[in-house]
Structure 1
Amino acid sequence: MNPESLVELAHYKMPFGKYKDRYLVEIPEYYFGWFKQKGFPEGKLGFMMEQMHEIKINGLEELIFKIRRQYPAPKPKRKP
Structure 2
Amino acid sequence: MEHSKEVSQYVNNERKDKKSNTKKNERMSRRLVVEDDMGDINEMADAFIKNFRNQLKIQREESFKRFQEMINRGL
TM-score (norm: length of structure 1): 0.22
Which of 1 and 2 has higher RCO (CA within 8 Å, sep 6+)?
1
User: Larger Rg: 1 or 2?
Assistant: 2
Q: Select the structure that is richer in helix.
A: 2
